[in-house]
Amino acid sequence: MNATAMDLKDANLESVDTPTQNEESADSLLQIRNLKKRFSLSGDFLEQLRFKGGKLIRHREYVHAINGVNLDIKRGEALCVVGESGCGKSTVARTVMGLLTPTAGEISYAGQRIDNLSSRELLPFRKRMQMIFQNPYASLNPRMTIQQTLEEPLRLHHPDWNRLKVQEKVQEVMSSVGIDPDWGKRFGHEFSGGQRQRIAIARALAVDPEFIVADEPISALDVSIQAQVLNLLMDAQRDRNLTYLFITHDLAVVEHFGTRVAVMYLGTVCEIATTATLFNKPRHPYTQALLSAIPRLEDDRPQHIRLKGEVPTPVNLPSGCVFHGRCPYANTRCRQEIPTLVTQLDGTRVACHAVEENRL
């Protein structure tokens, strides 16, 4: 393809991109704009001081966990974020919930910016956004009974409710997740992993939220229990019209559960697509490798794409495209220029120079 044709194509793509983005923001519940988060590795001021060449210098190192993530979550959908460990997917979840403060960027919920609010100002939003954590053995307070655990969020968010009303609500929410309301006097350790995760879900549902962030909610559970919990989450979505931000590394779950999928690699989103499109036609070379690695029941001999090397450390990010060191299609442009998400004809957004230039 010659240069002019490519420019034209780029220009077309750009023009497609802008209106869809505006459209998206109209009905989106949560907007993440250019989110960045880094963690300091070098401790406090005194620990940062180093002698180098006879001079005292301040040496600082950071883990760049998220580098400019843009996401829109539409009302009623389940947006899945997938990626391997260390790609920043959990950091995105925690930043959205306000458990971590972003280094840069904006997060808005229902049109209102929430990343710079104080915890008091955030309180009404906490009632609308809830979180489910990965490990149900750690997320329930071992010294509280289930009744107390479930009452706590209600008392905080509905200080005007009387005791009877709180108890009624607790019973209702317990039976809605399939836990016998008579078990309220028991403690967390008396339950199995699957039951604990149900209780953690009940706790999130108790305040009738509209948005739930689920960070690997089923990866600590056994196969037969995973299906039960996944069904529960899907029932809750249907009955309560919930919106999910679902963090997972399990692609089979994503294929089943997600409306749309965002694939993350080393702190950046490399592809966003509807689930069906992503699984039928993965565009980004990393997505292709990731999908080919799923152990399927059907084929006898796996034909997976082998990537060279390993995920680089997020302390010293590679220049250009973060994936270039392992990408079979990388060229000079990939090593120098950071790719941006470009909308394809079917609405998939891919951050890859090779896809843009039609080199794949």
Query: Among residues 207, 254, 209, which one has the least CA distance to residue 230?
Result: 254
Q: Is 358 left (phi over 0), alpha (psi -120 to 50) or beta?
A: left
Our CB check for another protein shows the closer of 105 and 312 to be: 312
Query: Does 194 engage in binding with another protein (CB under 8 A)?
Result: yes
**Applying CB under 8 A, which part among 63-71, 121-129, 254-262, 331-339 lies near another protein?**
254-262
Candidates 3-11, 136-144, 148-156, 244-252: pick the segment binding another protein (CB under 8 A). Answer: 244-252
Tokens 């009623």 sit on residue: 76
To another protein, the closest distance from the beta carbon of 86 in angstroms equals: 9
Pairing of strands 78-82, 243-248: parallel
How far apart (Å, rounded) are the C-alpha atoms in residues 66 and 86?
A: 10
Query: Helix, strand, or coil here: 244?
Result: strand
246 near another protein (CB under 8 A):
no
165 contributes a contact to another protein by CB under 8 A: no
Of 115-123, 182-190, 291-299, 348-356, which part binds another protein (CB under 8 A)? 291-299
Residue 315 contacts another protein per CB under 8 A: no
Question: Phi and psi (nearest 5°) for 156?
Answer: -70, -45
Per CB under 8 A, the segment of 110-118, 149-157, 165-173, 188-196 that binds another protein is 188-196
Regarding 301 and contact with another protein (CB under 8 A), the answer is yes
Shortest Å, Cβ 19 to another protein? 28
Which DSSP state fits 207? T
In terms of CB distance, is 156 or 276 closer to another protein?
276
Closest distance of CB 261 from another protein, Å = 12
Can you tell me which of 130, 134, 226, 243 binds another protein, judged by CB under 8 A? 226
Residue 164 in the binding site for another protein (CB under 8 A): no
Q: How many CB atoms lie within 10 A of CB 15?
A: 10
Distance of CA 337 to the CA centre of its chain: 25
Among residues 307, 327, 330, 355, the one that binds another protein under rule CB under 8 A: 307
| Contact predicate 32/109, CB 8 Å | no
Strand stretches in the chain, DSSP E: 28-40, 49-52, 55-58, 62-74, 78-82, 104-109, 112-113, 129-132, 211-215, 243-248, 260-265, 268-274, 342-343, 349-350
Q: What are the backbone angles phi and psi of residue 58, rounded to the nearest 5°?
A: -100, 120
Q: Could you tell me if 333 and 318 are in contact, meaning their C-beta atoms sit under 8 angstroms apart?
A: no
Q: Is the Cβ of residue 56 or residue 297 nearer to another protein in the bound state? A: 297
Distance of alpha carbon 103 from alpha carbon 153, whole angstroms: 29
Applying CB under 8 A, among 2, 4, 22, 85 the residue interacting with another protein is 85
Is residue 174 within 8 Å of residue 211, measured between CB atoms? no
Map the footprint of another protein across residues 48-67, applying CB under 8 A: none
Selected from 13, 16, 122, 294, the binder of another protein by CB under 8 A is: 294
Residues 20-39 contacting another protein, CB under 8 A: none
Selected from 23, 276, 316, 336, the binder of another protein by CB under 8 A is 276
Residue 295 backbone dihedrals phi, psi, to 5 degrees: -70, 115
Site for another protein in 94-153 (CB under 8 A): none
Binding residue for another protein, selected from 228, 329, 335, 360, defined by CB under 8 A: 228
Question: Nearest approach, Cβ of 222 to another protein (angstroms)?
Answer: 4
C-alpha 328: how far from its chain's center? 27
Residue 260 C-beta: closest distance to another protein, Å: 12
Is 189 a residue that touches another protein (CB under 8 A)? no
Gap between the Cα atoms of 278 and 147, Å rounded: 42
Q: How far apart are CA 242 and CA 222, in angstroms?
A: 25
In three-state form (DSSP H/G/I as H, E/B as E, the rest C), the secondary structure along 287-325 is: HHHHHHCCCCCCCCCCCCCCCCCCCCCCCCCCCCCCCCC
Determine if 225 is a binding residue for another protein (CB under 8 A). yes
**Interface ranges with another protein (CB under 8 A):** 84-85, 192, 194-195, 222-228, 230-231, 234-235, 249, 251-253, 255-257, 275-276, 289-290, 292-302, 304, 306-307, 310
